[in-house]
Chains A and B, each alone.
Chain A
Amino acid sequence: GAVVSQHPSRVICKSGTSVKIECRSLDFQATTMFWYRQFPKQSLMLMATSNEGSKATYEQGVEKDKFLINHASLTLSTLTVTSAHPEDSSFYICSAKGGETQYFGPGTRLLVL
């Protein structure tokens, strides 16, 4: 149980385009999901908290207009990187709250050329 999927697993896009990443809880409902960014050999940095049916809460320093989050159902949250730049290239991980624990998706590797 407690499986979280992410799609796509990796994406390459051109600078200036937008990219959408989906996070789904497959066997449980998640009113709260989280989006993280991770650089190589570093820890996870929380970007935002996604709440079903309401606006996301962004961490300090994260541009909400650049990283759009939508949590339209109890099993799906999406992160859209708008007008992507090479510095947005990173590994993005989502997690979903299941009881007292967060369960993580497999991550999405984004490369912006």
Chain B
Amino acid sequence: AQTVTQSQPEMSVQEAETVTLSCTYDTSESDYYLFWYKQPPSRQMILVIRQEAYKQQNATENRFSVNFQKAAKSFSLKISDSQLGDAAMYFCAYRSAYDYKLSFGAGTTVTVRA
């Protein structure tokens, strides 16, 4: 199974500031997908952003953007203009192009300070 590593258990950010969450993964495959999911206190998993490995361009969704470094097997998430509603646990996930199972990282809890 692929290994997904999130080395930051907790991150804190001031409202309106920017925070970057790190994620690295281990795979021998060249074709795969990467995801960031958000789990707020309600515990509903919400898709934040998705990146296809074959695309060189970094994915962006409003205030959320990724820095995908395929050679380094790194997939960081940047949250810009942080809002109180961004407070949640964030999970990085990997999926092979040939299998629909997701491998999740351990998660990073983001706290937003007013």
The interface of chain A, by Cβ under 8 A from chain B, is 32, 34, 38, 41-44, 46, 49, 91, 93, 95, 97, 100-104, 106-107
Residues of B within 8 A of A97 (CB): 100
Q: B102 interface residue, CB < 8 Å from A?
A: yes
Which 4 A-B pairs give the minimum distances between C-beta atoms?
A104-B45, A43-B104, A106-B44, A107-B43
Residues of A within 8 A of B106 (CB): 42-43
- Contact check, A43 vs B100: say whether CB atoms are below 8 A apart: no
- Contact check, A34 vs B91: say whether CB atoms are below 8 A apart: no
Residues of B within 8 A of A102 (CB): 100, 102
The interface of chain B, by Cβ under 8 A from chain A, is 33, 35, 37, 42-47, 50, 52, 89, 91, 95, 100-102, 104-107, 109
Residues of B within 8 A of A103 (CB): 47
Contacting residue for A49 out of B45, B46, B101, B104, CB 8 A = B101
> Which chain B residue lies CB-closest to A2?
B47
Q: How far is the CA of A43 from the CA of B42 in the complex (A)?
A: 15
Residues of A within 8 A of B105 (CB): 43
- Contact check, A100 vs B33: say whether CB atoms are below 8 A apart: yes
Q: A41-B89, A41-B109, A95-B45 are known; give 7 further A-B pairs, CB within 8 A.
A: A43-B104, A91-B43, A97-B100, A100-B33, A100-B95, A104-B45, A107-B43
Interchain residue pairs with CB less than 8 A apart (28): A32-B100, A34-B100, A34-B102, A41-B89, A41-B107, A42-B106, A42-B107, A43-B91, A43-B104, A43-B105, A43-B106, A44-B45, A44-B91, A44-B104, A46-B101, A46-B102, A95-B102, A97-B100, A100-B33, A100-B50, A100-B52, A100-B95, A101-B50, A102-B100, A103-B47, A104-B37, A104-B46, A107-B43
Identify the interface centre among B33, B44, B95, B109: most chain A CB within 10 Å of its CB: B44
Given contacts A100-B50, A101-B47, contact A34 B107 (CB under 8 A): no
